Structure 1
Amino acid sequence: MFLKAAQYGDVKAYYNLGVLYFQQKNYNKAEEMYLKAIKETDDINAYNNLGTLYYEQKKYDKAEQMYLQSIKRGNDMSYKGLGFVYYVQNRHSDAKKYLKIAADKGDQEAAGYYNELLKAGY
């Protein structure tokens, strides 16, 4: 359905296809669809989801860039993802900064990681 919609010019279909491919762990196709969604519509959720895709692939530099682009465009969901990127890279002060922002916006998972960093003395 989304593939046919994309073929007929429904640019939101690219984002939806990216989500489906990501859920199927077909990361190459997911990346392709998210990039098309960004090219056609500058979709902030596609930036966030690309960040998550790159994070899952341990491509942390790319994940960081996508999350930063998403945040720049106003997507609050990306603060947690960016915090996680920094967390796994042991960039504790950066992780703490972004996890706190996500926690302050109501994200309980981010709050847990933020509190863990505080308890560890970061």
Structure 2
Amino acid sequence: MDKLNQAIEHMKKQNFEEATKLFTETIEENPNDPVGYINFGNLLVHVNEWERAERFFNRAIELDEQAATAYYGLGNVYYEQENYTKAQNQFLLAIEKGLEEADVHFMLGMTLVHQEYMKLALPYLLRASELEPKDVDIQFQYGLCLAQTGQIEEAEETMKTVLQLEENHSDAHYNLGVVALHKEDAGLALEHFNKALECNGDHTLAAHAKAQIEQALSGE
């Protein structure tokens, strides 16, 4: 295994000191190869060293303007600092340069969600959900975006998919409870809110919704 792959393995195991040493050696031995800079940038993102990570990704882009994963890395730097407009631009560039993975579509969608551009976010979250149908977070965020754009039936089906992947997903139960209320099925809503609280006793939204339904039912 070469130094670059050894470094990546160390990073996966969170042996950051050893990974740093090997990435540094890789860059010194191959100063014109963008891959070393990109991987070192990814490590720096993991340890929240945003400015250094940005420099490494930019260096990779200087060496190869088509290095799609460098733009993706820059997007993550800006996203983690809640600079969603700059992150959005970098994720778009990564896709334009040929990166076709669920993560980049998901992250682009999430930058738009944070900017409250739900309709614009939807196609990217849909694409991410198609590329990674078993990723719980992706499916949940896609379902949430569907609900927020008024596509209630589709949102309900997606939240059911989330529960197939993770049956104790409290937020999916909560959102299915909200859908049930939308359909004026208080009994089913109560079931989902109770289930959300079983999964997470601190789910304040579910507790509040449950209390409201119980109060309404007792007043009938």
Question: Which letter maps to 1:19?
Answer: N
Select between 24-33 and 104-113 the one with higher mean Cα deviation. 104-113
In the TM superposition, what is the alpha-carbon distance from 1:119 to its structure 2 partner? 2.4
Cα deviation 1:41-87 (Å, max 9, x = unaligned): 23211111111110111111210110010001121231111000001
Identity between Structure 1 and Structure 2 (%): 27
Root-mean-square deviation (CA, aligned residues, Å) is 1.6
TM-score (norm 2): 0.52
Q: What secondary structure does 2:82 align onto?
A: coil
The correspondence of residues 1-122 of structure 1 with structure 2, limited to 5 A, is 1-8=22-29, 9=31, 11=33, 12-41=35-64, 42-77=66-101, 78-106=104-132, 108=135, 109-120=137-148, 121=150
Q: What secondary structure does 1:112 align onto?
A: helix
> Residues 32 and 63 of structure 2 are in contact (CA less than 8 Å); yes or no, is this contact kept in structure 1?
no
Counterpart-to-counterpart distance in 1, 2:107 and 2:95: 10
In the TM superposition, what is the alpha-carbon distance from 1:10 to its structure 2 partner? 5.1
Structure label with greater radius of gyration? 2
Question: Which letter maps to 1:4?
Answer: E
* Count of aligned pairs between the two proteins: 122
Counterpart-to-counterpart distance in 1, 2:76 and 2:120: 18
TM-score (norm 1): 0.90
Cα deviation 1:2-56 (Å, max 9, x = unaligned): 2232233252211121111111111110110011111112321111111111011
Counterpart-to-counterpart distance in 2, 1:119 and 1:64: 22
Structure 2 portions without partners, runs of 5+: 1-21, 152-220
Counterpart-to-counterpart distance in 1, 2:80 and 2:58: 17
> Residues 76 and 102 of structure 1 are in contact (CA less than 8 Å); yes or no, is this contact kept in structure 2?
no
Counterpart-to-counterpart distance in 1, 2:74 and 2:141: 22
Question: Which letter maps to 1:81?
Answer: M
Counterpart-to-counterpart distance in 2, 1:64 and 1:118: 20
> Residues 129 and 139 of structure 2 are in contact (CA less than 8 Å); yes or no, is this contact kept in structure 1?
yes
Larger RCO (CA under 8 A, 6+ residues apart): 1
In the TM superposition, what is the alpha-carbon distance from 1:112 to its structure 2 partner? 1.3
Select between 101-110 and 87-96 the one with higher mean Cα deviation. 101-110
